[in-house]
Structure formats: structure tokens, C-alpha cells
């Protein structure tokens, strides 16, 4: 590579903790304490005439998401497997999904004994529409579990056109896109079902938890019964009317995965700050991206026109590095306090994996995805970092990139 403008003095060591989330707001702590004092922790243990925190949360999230129905549940992974079950996916069925995602996605497909068929991704980290079109035709009528991995949204009109032409039911994995939009529509509102996570590193934090949203009454009712409603579905906060449950309630198995009132109480309080926090994430993301972009050795994915992401993490590639160079780069950044994940690592490490390490999925040939992931890096952006912290992290990345070469 030619001269790099970021190859000046090495920035000072960064002291921040990449896994440190903000403490929960005082209102959340108070709300949780009240639930614990009441003893009514189970979502269906309600005092006469009262609505549980889980039900209140469902109503609140449905309203925020602009979705008719919402089920609060145990995790994002649980929401995805429930969506697949509710759509009637059977053992041996094919489920399409993009090859750049995290293990809970193929895991959800495996949990219903379906076969994951992986679709290539582009250099901008979204599903490859040409490969999707080929596989959609080949497996017409199946489910597409589309993972908006790390917040990158494809052109959702194009995705839905391909899906509709081939009779695919689309489930959106929005674990990283709560609040992200395409063409001013919230992610999760394109497909038939959407799944969200409230696990600790997500946009609202209950340690573990998730939501399933949909406008389809049949899917919503099946999901509520699947989650373990013990025939108390009338007490849910954003579920279809009772008549929809008539036959569904007896033919649908109970695969318990409810959310409890403690988690719901802490999430309800966080809903008050969600919009503000989404802005704070993007301020931090933009500062980090700006500092990295001075380097001509780093390739940043370009947002698909019309998409607005929520930058709770940042990805970039260094396509001229070999594996040893990538390892060296990660080690040199860490010496300066910057913790990166490398998607090219053949061994899955801490929240990062690639399709070849999912041994329960049939081995598949994905040359473009493999080439892209080989030099793809990822950095978390917790809200405990200030905007200037994020600029500092970006400067370190650009500076180390300037000094890293292949063997």
C-alpha cells in the first residue's frame, strides 16, 4: 500500500473496557425491587385486575416497534426457534439464512431439525441478492431467516421482492437492529416475523431476554402458546383475541421460554431511554468510523442506500493481510488496549464464529463469504465509552493498521 496519513505517532493506550455496559437506570432498579417485594415474579401470577410487567412490556414494545403483536420471551435465540415452529417448519425442511451471522441463528434452525442452507454475503456484509435469488428458486416455499448481522441492512425491498416471487416466509433476526430502518421502515417490519434480543450486549439489557413481533394473528397465537402460556394467554399484553386461540391452544405444544416479571420490569424502565440511546450509539459509531476512515489500509463497509443502522459495533476489513498479519494486527491493537474480534479466525472465539465451525450444519461452499470473513474485524461500542473514547479507539486502529504488513 502507499503512504498512510495515519502512520504518525502512536496514540496512547486506551483504558476502556469493551464489555462494560452502563448500569441500569435507577427507575429500573426500583421497578425490579417492587416486583421482588411483591413475590409475583411469574408473568401469569397477577393480582386481580392488574397487568403483569411482562404484559405491559409487550404492549409497550409492540407500540414502539409499530407491530400488532409482541411476545416477550427468554432470549433472541428462543424467539427465532419459536418463529420457525410457529411457521410450521418441520424436520428435514430447508431454512435459508445468510452465512455471516452468529451461532444462535444456525442453532435455532437446528433446534427444529431443519437444514440450514447458507447464502453468500457481500463486502458490505449484507445478504448477496444474486445468491439469494438462486437459492430462493431452488428452495421455493421455504423460510428465509434473514440475520441483520452486526446491524447491516440489505435493500429490504429487493429482499422482499425475491421472497415474494418465490413464496418464502421471511423471519428477520433483528438482534442487532432494534431501531434501525430501511426506507424509513423499522427493521423487523418487512418479514412475517421479527426476533429481537435483550441480552446484555443489546440495545436494551435484561441479561437475557427477547421479543417476537408479528402482524400475523395465527403466528402470534402459536408463539404465545409455544412459549408456555398455560391457557392464560388472555393475560398477554399484545396477543390476538381469544377466538384466534380456539384450535391453536390444543394443537400447539408448550415449549416453555417465557419472560419473567423481573426482566420485564427492568426493560420497561429502559424503554424510556431507548430512542435517546440509539442516538448516543450512532454518535459514538460515527466518531470511531471517522477516525478509522483516515487510513487507506482499512476498508469500511458502505451502508446500503436507504438504510440507517444503529452503531453498537463497528466492522472493517484489511483485505491485503494474510492470516498471520491478521493475528498480528489483533495482538498489536490489544497491546494498545483495543479489543478486536477477527471473523477469519478458524477457531471460534468469544461470540465470533464462521460457518465452517458449525459442525451440525452440512458443510457448504461459500467462496465470497469466506474471502470476506478472512480479513473482517469487529469492535464493540458500549455506551460507557464517550465520543472521544471512540475517536481514540479509531485512531489506534488506524495507526496500528498503518504498521501491519503480511509476512
Ligand X SMILES: Cc1ncc(COP(=O)(O)O)c(C=O)c1O
Under the binding rule (CB under 6 A), the answer on residue 301 touching ligand X is no
Only one of the segments 88-96, 100-108, 111-119, 373-381 lies at the binding site for ligand X (rule: CB under 6 A); that segment is 100-108
Stretch that binds ligand X, among 21-29, 61-69, 99-107, 256-264 (CB under 6 A): 99-107
Instruction: Indicate whether 6 belongs to the interface with ligand X (CB under 6 A).
Output: no
Q: Is 177 in the site for ligand X (CB under 6 A)?
A: no
Does 240 engage in binding with ligand X (CB under 6 A)?
Answer: no
Q: Which is nearer to ligand X, 98 or 395 (CB)?
A: 98
CB 91 within 8 A of CB 103: no
Question: Residue 14 or residue 358: which is nearer to ligand X going by CB?
Answer: 358
- Binding status of residue 102 toward ligand X by CB under 6 A: yes
Cα distance between residue 288 and residue 280, in whole Å: 13
How many residues at the interface with ligand X, by CB under 6 A?
Answer: 15
Residue closer to ligand X by CB (options 75, 399) is 75
**Shortest Cβ 176–ligand X spacing (Å):** 6
Asked whether position 101 contacts ligand X by CB under 6 A, the answer is yes
The 3-class secondary structure across the chain, one letter per residue, is: CCCCCCCCCCCCCCCCCCCCCCCCCHHHHHHHHHHHHHCCCCCCCCCCCCCCHHHHHHHHHHHHHCCCEEEEECCHHHHHHHHHHHCCCCCCCEEEEECCCCCHHHHHHHHCCCEEEEECECCCCCECHHHHHHHHHHCCCCEEEEECHHHCCCCHHHHHHHHHHCCCEEEEECCCCCCCEECCEECCCCCCEEEEECCCCCCCCCCCCEEEEECCHHHHHHHHHHCCCCCCHHHCCECCCHHHHHHHHHHCCCCCCECCHHHHHHHHHHHCCHHHHHHHHHHHHHHHHHHHCCCCCCECCCCCCCEECCCCEEEEECCCCCHHHHHHHHHHHHHCCCCCEECCCCCCECCECCHHHCCCCCCCCCHHHHHHHHCEEEEECCCCCCHHHHHHHHHHHHHHHHCCCCC
Q: Which of residues 305-334 bind ligand X (CB under 6 A)?
A: none
- Residue 177 or residue 395: which is nearer to ligand X going by CB? 177
Nearer to ligand X, 97 or 236 (CB): 97
Pairing of strands 307-308, 181-182: antiparallel
Identified binder of ligand X from the candidate list 95, 136, 149, 162, rule CB under 6 A: 149
Q: Which is nearer to ligand X, 260 or 332 (CB)?
A: 260
Return the half-sphere exposure (C-beta side, CA atoms, 13 A cut-off) of residue 204: 28
Q: Pick between residue 132 and residue 204 the one whose CB is nearest to ligand X.
A: 204
Query: Does 166 sit near ligand X (CB under 6 A)?
Result: no
Examine residue 197 and tell whether it contacts ligand X (CB under 6 A): yes
State the residue number with the nearest CB to ligand X. 76
Q: Does 236 bind ligand X (CB under 6 A)?
A: no
Sorted by sequence, the CB contacts under 8 Å of residue 253 that are 6+ apart come out as 226
In whole angstroms, how close is the CB of 398 to ligand X at the nearest point? 26
In this chain, which stretch among 31-39, 168-176, 243-251, 296-304 interacts with ligand X, using CB under 6 A?
A: 168-176
Residue 105 touching ligand X (CB under 6 A): yes
- According to CB under 6 A, which one of 11, 210, 240, 382 is a site residue for ligand X? 210
Rounded to an integer, what distance in angstroms lies between the CA atom of residue 324 and that of residue 239? 52
When asked if residue 98 is in the footprint of ligand X (CB under 6 A), the reply is no
The one segment of 101-109, 134-142, 216-224, 398-406 that binds ligand X by CB under 6 A: 101-109
179 touches ligand X (CB under 6 A): no
72 binds ligand X (CB under 6 A): no
- Interacting residues with ligand X (CB under 6 A): 75-77, 101-102, 104-105, 147, 149, 173, 175-176, 197, 199, 210
Amino acid at each position: 500500500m502507499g503512504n498512510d496519513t495515519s502512520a504518525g505517532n502512536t496514540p496512547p493506550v486506551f483504558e476502556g473496557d469493551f464489555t462494560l455496559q452502563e448500569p441500569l437506570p435507577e427507575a429500573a432498579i426500583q421497578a425490579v425491587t417492587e416486583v421482588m417485594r411483591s413475590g409475583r415474579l411469574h408473568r401469569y401470577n397477577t393480582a386481580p385486575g392488574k397487568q403483569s410487567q411482562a404484559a405491559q412490556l409487550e404492549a409497550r414494545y409492540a407500540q414502539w416497534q409499530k407491530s400488532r403483536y409482541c411476545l416477550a420471551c427468554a432470549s433472541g435465540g428462543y424467539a427465532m426457534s419459536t418463529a420457525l415452529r410457529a411457521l410450521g417448519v418441520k424436520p428435514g425442511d430447508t431454512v435459508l439464512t445468510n452465512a455471516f451471522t452468529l451461532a444462535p441463528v444456525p442453532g435455532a434452525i437446528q433446534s427444529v431439525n431443519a437444514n440450514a442452507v447458507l447464502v453468500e454475503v457481500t463486502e458490505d456484509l449484507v445478504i448477496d441478492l444474486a445468491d439469494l435469488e438462486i437459492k430462493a428458486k431452488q428452495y421455493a416455499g421455504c423460510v428465509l431467516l434473514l440475520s441483520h448481522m452486526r446491524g447491516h441492512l440489505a435493500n429490504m425491498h429487493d429482499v422482499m421482492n425475491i421472497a415474494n416471487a418465490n413464496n418464502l416466509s421471511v423471519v428477520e433476526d433483528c438482534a442487532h437492529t432494534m431501531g434501525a430502518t430501511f426506507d424509513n421502515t423499522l427493521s423487523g417490519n418487512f418479514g412475517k416475523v421479527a426476533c429481537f434480543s435483550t441480552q446484555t450486549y443489546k440495545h436494551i439489557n435484561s441479561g437475557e431476554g427477547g421479543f417476537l413481533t408479528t402482524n400475523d394473528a395465527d403466528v402470534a397465537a402459536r408463539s404465545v402458546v409455544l412459549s408456555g402460556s398455560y391457557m392464560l394467554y388472555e393475560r398477554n399484553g399484545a396477543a390476538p383475541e381469544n377466538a384466534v386461540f380456539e384450535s391453536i391452544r390444543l394443537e400447539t405444544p408448550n415449549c416453555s421460554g417465557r419472560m419473567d416479571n423481573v426482566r420485564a420490569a427492568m426493560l420497561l424502565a429502559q424503554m424510556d431511554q431507548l430512542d435517546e440511546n440509539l442516538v448516543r450509539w450512532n454518535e459514538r459509531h460515527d466518531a470511531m468510523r471517522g477516525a478509522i476512515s483516515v487510513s487507506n489500509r482499512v476498508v469500511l463497509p458502505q451502508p446500503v442506500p436507504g438504510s440507517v443502522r444503529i452503531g453498537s459495533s463497528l466492522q472493517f476489513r484489511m483485505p491485503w493481510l494474510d492470516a498471520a498479519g491478521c493475528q498480528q494486527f489483533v495482538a498489536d491493537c490489544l497491546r494498545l488496549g483495543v479489543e478486536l474480534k477477527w471473523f477469519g479466525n478458524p477457531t471460534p472465539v468469544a461470540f465470533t464464529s464462521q460457518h465452517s465451525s458449525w459442525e451440525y450444519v452440512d458443510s457448504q461452499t461459500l467462496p465470497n463469504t469466506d474471502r470476506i470473513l478472512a480479513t473482517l474485524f469487529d469492535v464493540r461500542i458500549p455506551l460507557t465509552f464517550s465520543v472521544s473514547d471512540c475517536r481514540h479507539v479509531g485512531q489506534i486502529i488506524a495507526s496500528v493498521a498503518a504498521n501491519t504488513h503480511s509476512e
